[in-house]
Copies of this chain bind each other. A is one copy, B any other.
């Protein structure tokens, strides 16, 4: 146990919907809720990475802590998108028992602040992820989830869909060098529908902050695609107030 028991606030938690992109589909990072001591027969459910708040800890700071412990990464994209606080959101007795066992505090009612996080899937240090029983799951095919975490993920996806229409945040999910095709597949994965290839490229390339590199794929059995990078400074200098990526 990382902290003295009394330091957790039993009413407040954060949960993180950690999105990743493997080149094909949108993924979310889930941890396995390991079976507790009381019963051997509890089905192993998955849950979002999250934790109760430490006394006097900032909410954003708590989300950063959860992600650092899980992935070994700091300075990653994190955005608060909702609060979930219906009194019965933690009602399954197994879930309550598990929470009380792992936190050491008595649980009456927990209001959780939900963040979504965008990470470059290649960067998450595998050893930490494995150590924490965490694994990537396709958002289109989620396992059985504890608490109200399925609802939280669904809301997180909606927020992300909204956000990528207005802000160039998709680059947080792509490698530093990416191809336009990868970007398109990412948009399609997030929005859940196909896009016209030519029109998509035209629209992206209008933005000066998406810069072509002199580098191409190699080793691919087709015409190699050019790499691009996102110039964040350029974006922030000339940002137009509201960006229109309504595909």
Q: Residues on A close to B: CB < 8 A? A: 9, 11-12, 53, 55-59, 80, 82-83, 85-87, 108-109, 111, 113, 165, 242, 244, 246
Contact = CB atoms under 8 A, between A and B. Distances in A.
Nearest to A84: B59
Given A11-B9, A11-B12, A80-B82, A109 B59 contact: no
Given A57-B87, A82-B80, A246-B244, A111 B109 contact: no
B87 A58 contact: yes
25 contacts: A9-B11, A9-B109, A11-B11, A11-B12, A12-B85, A53-B85, A55-B108, A55-B109, A56-B87, A56-B109, A57-B87, A58-B85, A58-B87, A59-B83, A59-B86, A59-B111, A80-B82, A80-B83, A83-B83, A83-B113, A85-B113, A111-B111, A111-B113, A242-B246, A244-B246
Given A111-B111, A242-B246, A58 B86 contact: yes
Report copies per complex. Answer: 2
Contacts of A9: 11, 109
Which 7 pairs of residues, A with B, have the shortest CB-CB distance?
Answer: A59-B85, A56-B87, A11-B11, A83-B113, A83-B83, A58-B86, A12-B111
A109 B55 CA distance: 8
Nearest to A112: B83
A167 to B, nearest CB: 12
Contacts of A242: 165, 246
Nearest to A161: B242
Contacts of A244: 246
Nearest to A10: B11
Contacts of A82: 80
A218 to B, nearest CB: 40
Contacts of A57: 87
A59 B82 CA distance: 12
